[in-house]
């Protein structure tokens, strides 16, 4: 029997699972699909980036997905690129192979989501069946699924590889502090191409400070359900400004060095790494 279980249908009809060890869910109970679309695909401006790439004659959008989880964020990315003429080239980092095996075999989503999620499940199945493969097909694009500790799998990527968008979605800093550390976030920032955007659900001051210390601009992510705003970051894009008091705290913490995490980041995320 799998260690993972279906927790419940979330408020928008899509489903999520809870982790058997610490109990956090992989998505917001306010709506797993809504979170994937609003927080990640729209937050990271995938459609806008795709249209920009198309104007430049480029047909691929490169996504770094930290936390494959149930694959809903990847499904939301596919939706965002529909009609742009640009395909998704995703690199997804996930430690929990048992979770991936469960996701690959269990369709359970509403029809509006299922037609996109089916592509993701098929790609995950193909990747699990051919672990040595660099890329597997994903709805006209490709998926490179890296199973293992994200701190190691990220470093193992080719030095030249840069991404047009980043989904930063491990479990909360309370559960997985190593994936919110300054070292890891600096490594992520170093993989971001000009014009790229990073989206995450975390609004912790230390997370924002770590992104700023890595040389990124930091801005306000949209509010989704009952969860307070998330965070956006980019090497060069103009982002919605943080409130002045928050911006001052982030700047002070960024210049002060390593610090602790702020409270309130208990929301689950789309993968444990």
203 is a domain residue? yes
Whole-number pLDDT of residue 188: 98
Q: Which pTM was predicted?
A: 0.89
How far is Cα 110 from Cα 2, in angstroms, rounded to an integer? 23
Whole-number pLDDT of residue 263: 39
67 is a domain residue? yes
Q: How many domains does one find in the chain? A: 1
Q: What is the domain-level CATH number for residue 184? A: 3.40.50.150
Nearest-10 Cα torsion for 27, 29, 34, 37: -10
> Is residue 182 within a helix (H) or strand (E), and if so which, with residue range?
helix 182-189
171 is a domain residue? yes
128 is a domain residue? yes
Contacts of 63 (CB under 8 A, 6+ apart): 46, 74, 77, 88, 89, 90, 91, 163, 164, 165, 166, 167
19 is a domain residue? no
20 is a domain residue? no
11 is a domain residue? no
Give the tokens for residue 246.
């928050």
Per-residue pLDDT of the chain (273 residues), as tens digits, is: 345 455 567 777 677 676 665 556 666 767 788 999 999 999 999 999 999 999 999 999 999 999 998 899 999 999 999 999 999 999 999 999 988 998 888 766 667 788 899 999 999 999 999 887 789 999 999 999 999 999 999 999 999 999 999 999 998 888 889 999 999 999 999 999 999 999 999 999 999 999 999 999 999 998 887 767 999 999 999 999 999 999 999 999 999 876 555 434 433 333 323
How far is Cα 120 from Cα 76, in angstroms, rounded to an integer? 10
266 is a domain residue? no
Whole-number pLDDT of residue 273: 30
Concatenated DSSP letters of 190-248: TTEEEEEEEEES---HHHHHHHHHTT-EEEEPPPBTTB---EEEESS---PPPPHHHHH
Domain that holds residue 200: 25-256
Could you tell me which of 63, 146, 76 has the C-alpha nearest to residue 109? 76
């Amino acid at each position: 029997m799998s260690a993972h279980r279906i927790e419940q249908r979330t408020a928008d009809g899509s489903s999520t699972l809870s982790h058997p060890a610490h109990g956090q869910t992989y998505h917001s109970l306010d709506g797993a699909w809504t979170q994937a679309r609003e927080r990640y695909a729209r937050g990271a401006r995938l459609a806008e980036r795709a249209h920009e790439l198309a104007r430049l004659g480029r047909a691929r959008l490169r996504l770094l997905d930290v936390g494959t989880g149930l694959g809903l964020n990847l499904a939301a990315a596919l939706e965002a690129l529909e009609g742009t003429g640009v395909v998704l080239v995703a690199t997804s980092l996930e430690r929990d192979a048992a979770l991936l095996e469960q996701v690959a075999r269990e369709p359970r989503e509403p029809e509006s989501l299922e037609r996109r999620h089916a592509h993701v499940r098929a790609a995950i199945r193909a990747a699990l069946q051919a672990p040595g493969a660099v890329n597997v097909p994903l709805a006209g694009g490709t998926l490179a699924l890296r199973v293992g500790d994200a701190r190691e799998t990220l470093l193992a990527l080719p030095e030249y590889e840069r991404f047009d968008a980043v989904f930063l979605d491990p479990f909360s800093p309370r559960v997985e502090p190593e994936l919110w550390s300054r070292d890891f976030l600096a490594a992520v920032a170093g993989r971001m191409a000009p014009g790229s955007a990073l989206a995450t659900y975390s609004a912790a001051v230390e997370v924002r400070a770590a992104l700023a210390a890595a040389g990124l601009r930091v801005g306000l992510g949209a509010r989704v359900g009952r969860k307070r705003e998330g965070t956006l970051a980019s090497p060069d894009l103009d982002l919605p400004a943080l409130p002045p008091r928050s911006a001052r705290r982030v700047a002070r913490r960024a210049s002060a060095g390593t610090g602790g995490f702020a409270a309130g980041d208990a929301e689950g995320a789309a993968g444990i790494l």
